[in-house]
Chains A and B, each alone.
Chain A
Amino acid sequence: MIRSGIRGETVLRGALALLPMLAPALGHAQDAEPVLDTGNTAWMLTSTVLVLFMTLPGLALFYAGMVRSKNVLSVLMQCFAVTALITVLWMLYGYSLAFDTTGMVDGEINFNSFIGGLKKSFLSGIGVDSLTGTIPESVFATFQLTFAIITPALIVGAFAERMRFSAMLIFLGLWFTFVYTAMTHMVWSGDGALMWDWGVLDFAGGTVVHINAGVAGLVAALVLGKRKGYPATPMPPHNLALTVIGASMLWVGWFGFNAGSAVSAGGSAGMAMLVTQIATAAAALAWMFSEWVSHGKPSVLGIASGAVTGLVAVTPASGTVGPPGALVIGFVAGVLCFLASTRLKRKFGYDDSLDVFGVHAIGGIVGAVLTGMFAFPSLGGVWDPGETTMGAQVWIQIKSVLFTVLFTGVGSFVLLKLVDLLVGLRVSAEDETLGLDLALHDERGYNL
């Protein structure tokens, strides 16, 4: 199973002893104990900030602008609260469940292939000098935390405008605990992890973040049911200016998400940045032109959404594809996500309020599968496949996608039903009509 790239260019997350990492600046031999690299650390500190910025306020504004004005605060509140909640849970046990490698054996499937132990609960053992590869473990843990924050925050978009705040907190807390940490562990924790051992290529979270959140969003939309009046009543976005500002912040912040997943400041990060930009631009244009042809006019919501789909799709690919692959991935994602968000949704009639499934699940699936092809040098990729054939890798990608869909689909459904029994998921019809800002928070977004 080949994991690292040529000349150590490709770096994947993992526990200290299992990272096959080189420090390009120091040029050390692979068998030396990794030492702190200030260049890598500086970049990772920055990336962490960028990814947090993606949630606060990037995603928060992106979503807030798309809901009706009576619900603007509820969306912002959910994003803010999720950020705070996940941070605490990450510290208590989340980091440990995700990245503790106790009991993991390369090539063997056991309990710890699916979830980590509790050895690192309360972040115990992490001191000022603790390292994960060539960066401080504190930085690695915080960087990963920002991913753990944005993933449940994404789901907010699917049940917007009708979910009870308490139910949302409990559900996302449980979902983080039982679904997110396991997904992170299975894909990224190192040798002995289920999908890591399969050889899946998921650089920055196509499965862990996007398909995961996207499918959970669909399940939530189905379990909660449609908003009152959907689809007959018009529910236009109340402030697309906010949405575009949010999308712009997502674009910028995503360089931390993808290039930061190199966990190094070098060629891998550089290529990740380049392919991210190309795929995003291609997807933005693809959605824009698709809409222009299909509906007669290009729209700003469309181009912003298109850009986000490109960012999503290139996420798993950003460590292994080259510019040609990025162009194709972006274009395909833009077109397919456009169709999923406009046609598919209407055809099946589900109310995924802000198209979490259409953008993140479909975009993530497109990206994950195409990574299996475009990682190969023959298609412009920068990955060293060793003995693996393209067909074999594509199958590994598909297998991982299917597993993710099943795992999160079932997990999300069970947890939603549980929370429904405990506190009830949905607000009353009166509260939904009044608006969540007043009904749940006694506040108005705009006192004009």
Chain B
Amino acid sequence: MKLITAIIKPFKLDDLRQTVAHIGVQGLTVTEVLGLGRQLGHVERYRGAAHRVDLQPKTRVELAVEDTIVDEVVEAITNVARTGRSGDGKVFVAKLAAAVRIRTGETGAEAV
């Protein structure tokens, strides 16, 4: 099993959910985060006091998936979340040691 973490632009979330649902991913976790990278921030100004805001709002999506569909999911996320402009985000894949469905107690591949 793998834990896929995708940091994407917030407005891409709905597209991502639809895309991964087609592949058979049934669950995911969404967090609102701030991120910075190569994308430049913007300037805010209040009564003449200007300051740079480098941390931009992003959406973090975490999905636990079986090894068989990992590559497919990563490719799908990457394609749907891309706009071609800087700030599109990143996808990380980490090994997932265990998973448990709380309601039934199922473990392993049955739980993701």
**A contact set with B: CB distance below 8 Å:** 231, 234-237, 295, 297, 299, 301-302, 305, 341-343, 345-346, 355
Contacts and interface: CB of A to CB of B under 8 A. Distances in A.
Given A295-B50, A305-B47, A355-B47, 13 more contacts: A231-B49, A234-B44, A234-B51, A235-B49, A236-B44, A295-B45, A297-B45, A301-B46, A302-B47, A341-B47, A342-B49, A343-B48, A346-B48
Interface of B: 44-51, 53
B45 A299 contact: yes
A348 B53 CA distance: 25
A65 B47 CA distance: 14
Nearest to B44: A236
B49 A301 contact: no
Nearest to A295: B45
Contacts, number: 30
Contacts of B46: 236-237, 299, 301
Nearest to B52: A234
A342 B49 CA distance: 7
Contacts of A355: 47
A305 B47 CA distance: 9
Contacts of B45: 295, 297, 299
Contacts of B44: 234, 236
Contacts of A346: 48-49
12 contacts: A234-B44, A234-B49, A235-B49, A237-B46, A295-B48, A301-B46, A302-B47, A305-B47, A342-B48, A345-B48, A346-B48, A346-B49
In the A-B complex, the 7 residue pairs with the smallest Cβ-Cβ separation, listed nearest first, are: A342-B48, A234-B51, A236-B46, A341-B47, A301-B46, A342-B47, A237-B46
B51 to A, nearest CB: 4
A343 to B, nearest CB: 7
A201 to B, nearest CB: 31
A342 B46 CA distance: 9
A295 B47 CA distance: 10
Nearest to A233: B51
A102 to B, nearest CB: 46
A297 B45 CA distance: 10
Contacts of A235: 49
B16 to A, nearest CB: 26
Nearest to B49: A231
A137 B53 CA distance: 55
B76 to A, nearest CB: 33
A386 to B, nearest CB: 43
Nearest to A230: B49
A302 B51 CA distance: 16
A338 B50 CA distance: 15
A26 to B, nearest CB: 49
B110 to A, nearest CB: 36
Contacts of B50: 295
Nearest to B51: A234
Contacts of B49: 231, 234-235, 342, 346
Contacts of B48: 295, 341-343, 345-346
Contacts of B51: 234, 236
Contacts of B47: 301-302, 305, 341-342, 355
A302 B49 CA distance: 12
A441 to B, nearest CB: 25
A231 B47 CA distance: 13
A241 B84 CA distance: 34
A341 B50 CA distance: 13
B31 to A, nearest CB: 15
Contacts of A236: 44, 46, 51
A403 B50 CA distance: 36
A355 B49 CA distance: 12
Contacts of A305: 47
A305 B51 CA distance: 20
A199 to B, nearest CB: 36
A355 B46 CA distance: 12
A302 B45 CA distance: 10
A137 to B, nearest CB: 42
A302 B53 CA distance: 20
A346 B50 CA distance: 11
B84 to A, nearest CB: 27
B34 to A, nearest CB: 14
Contacts of A231: 49
A237 B48 CA distance: 13
A305 B46 CA distance: 11
Which of B45, B46, B48 gathers the greatest number of chain A CB atoms within 10 Å?
Answer: B48
A299 B46 CA distance: 8
Contacts of A237: 46
A63 to B, nearest CB: 13
